[in-house]
Chain A
Amino acid sequence: MSQPMIEIADLQKWYGDQHVLRGVDLSVRSGERIVVLGPSGSGKSTLIRTVNGLEPHQGGTIRVDGHDLDARGQAGAAARRATGMVFQAFNLFPHLSILDNCTLAPIRVAGLARAEAETQAMALLERVRIADHARKFPIQLSGGQQQRAAIARALAMAPKVMLFDEPTSALDPEMVGEVLDVMCGLAESGMTMMVVTHEMQFARDVADRVIFMDQGRIIESGPPASFFADPREARTRAFLGRLRA
């Protein structure tokens, strides 16, 4: 087996006086699907936001695709470019059409020609099944469609890892399925994924490994079958118990 896709060692993060990540160690294989669970304030969103450099960290190391995220210049940029991010609030650019949302970074960052970027973007929009809406603006789309567009936008930069920060939490219940569907398809294609979510069914069906965080630490991790059936830690049991209640 080659080197891990993501390697996090003793990660420390403070917001002012608040110690939000207290020594997180995690190694993610290429193609592995990780679901991160935990009560709110456990640091799970912060964890995946540090993995692509959106949040600076104060201690420990993060390596993505073999590159040190904190390295200056090329290596740091390569680590950041290896990740794609999907946000809870979609964060599509409202002043650009769906197609332009998906071509902005390929043209401006990767240096593709417009025609090439558009062909590639259309293929991705086809894949998330909103190619018909390519010329529309974000506000004209439903939440589920917007989130699928946001996934296509992140994929347009050909990331090796996709990070999802509660991608279905802002959606109406009837739209959750279509987004999970797209994510499931992505998982089947072999994408390395780290997903923060409250969708237990997704965790059961898609995850290779479930990670449970509380108070800035990883408390427990394991394959979904044993994690859900037989959690070892009291805090995990309490969390899962509250979900079932």
Chain B
Amino acid sequence: MSACAFPSLPTRARRSWTAWAVGLAVALAALVLVAPALRWLFWDATWVGQSRAACGPAGACWAMITARAPQILLGFYPAGHGWRVGLAVAMLAVGLAPLAWRRRAGLTMLTAPVGALACLALMGGAGILPSVPSAYWGGLALNLIVGAVSAIFALPIGILLSLARRSTLPVIRILASAYVEAVRAAPLIVVLFAAAVLVPLLIPPQWSLDKLTRAIVAITFFEAAYMAEAVRGGLMAVPQGQREAARALGLKGWQVLVFVVLPQALRTATPALVNSFIGLLKDTSLIYVIGVLDITGVLRNAVSDYAWQGLEPEAYIFVGLTFWLLCFGLSRWSAALERRAARAQGAPS
């Protein structure tokens, strides 16, 4: 008997008593705090109107959001060309579609960059459609396009970096590690600033890329460093026996990588990759440093308008909720992908 004298745990009955008390207290507090917020957000809010004067004093003034909806979505993209933005975002989606196609998910590595290029071509005109300089791109569409295009090109670069960090050649290994460590230690805003201001000083103007393109390239290479670390984690999780089995079957080095190691590594790395992509999507707001107006910039612009002055709370709550919805949606989508992959392999989920 005495050998098993573990300290006794609180009994279930007593614990559930305190649980009830704490639960009730929290619920009451929430009601007291949340109810006025909900009143302000919905009940007393004004949804339509031409200026702040149309809004009641007790509630939120969402009239600004509805009045500025086209700009919030598309920025100052020329009227009548909005369809191009819609189609451009659709191109991104089409490029990413094979991801949902279990047997050929790897095809995304080819289709996504094509989709991204099609997206940029549609936005800019590519010499066929009327040209729209990137200074006119903006709104939520800009956040989505910059985020997705950067991520699409950052992943292959990140994979190459992660492989380089495991190279047997010391020069390649050291260069890749130095790159990843240097980039991860720099804030994105500094990198963007360098791309916007420093690069034009160093490169003759006739070679220089458009300002937004420079920003996208900067974000791509910035993000690649983070993706490289996520993929490296996945690579380390693939057991040595997998490589041995593949080599014993006669697969060449690159085949072992493409058909055996990477599919497993990327699946393991998916949560970390999605995590870093969510971070990237939120960071797209920082492109204000190059003077284009993303969703945050458009709203900042709106509240500086005399008609909507003083509506910063509404503006930032709306931006916050929009990003929250996007990022939460992404996180649920990736969780669904993981569950489906696990189910396909019969793992208990």
Contacts and interface: CB of A to CB of B under 8 A. Distances in A.
A139 B346 contact: yes
Q: Is the interface of B mostly helix, strand, loop or mixed?
A: helix
A140 B349 CA distance: 13
Contact of B345 (A54, A87, A140): A140
Nearest to B263: A95
A109 B346 contact: no
Contacts of B251: 104-105, 108-109
Contacts of A80: 250
B131 interface: no
A105 B259 CA distance: 10
Contacts of A91: 239, 241-242, 244-245
A94 B345 contact: yes
B267 A154 contact: no
Interface size class of A (residues with CB under 8 A): 20 to 34
A92 B260 CA distance: 10
B344 A137 contact: yes
B248 A84 contact: yes
Contacts of B250: 77, 80-81, 105, 109-110, 157
Contacts of B259: 104, 108
A191 B281 CA distance: 58
Contact of A140 (B246, B248, B263, B346): B346
B264 A94 contact: yes
Contacts of A232: none
Contacts of A77: 250
A95 B267 contact: yes
A87 B249 contact: no
B128 interface: no
Nearest to A136: B346
Contacts of A81: 250
Given A77-B250, A104-B251, 17 more contacts: A52-B248, A53-B247, A54-B247, A85-B248, A89-B239, A91-B241, A91-B242, A91-B245, A94-B264, A108-B251, A108-B255, A109-B249, A136-B346, A137-B345, A139-B345, A139-B346, A154-B248
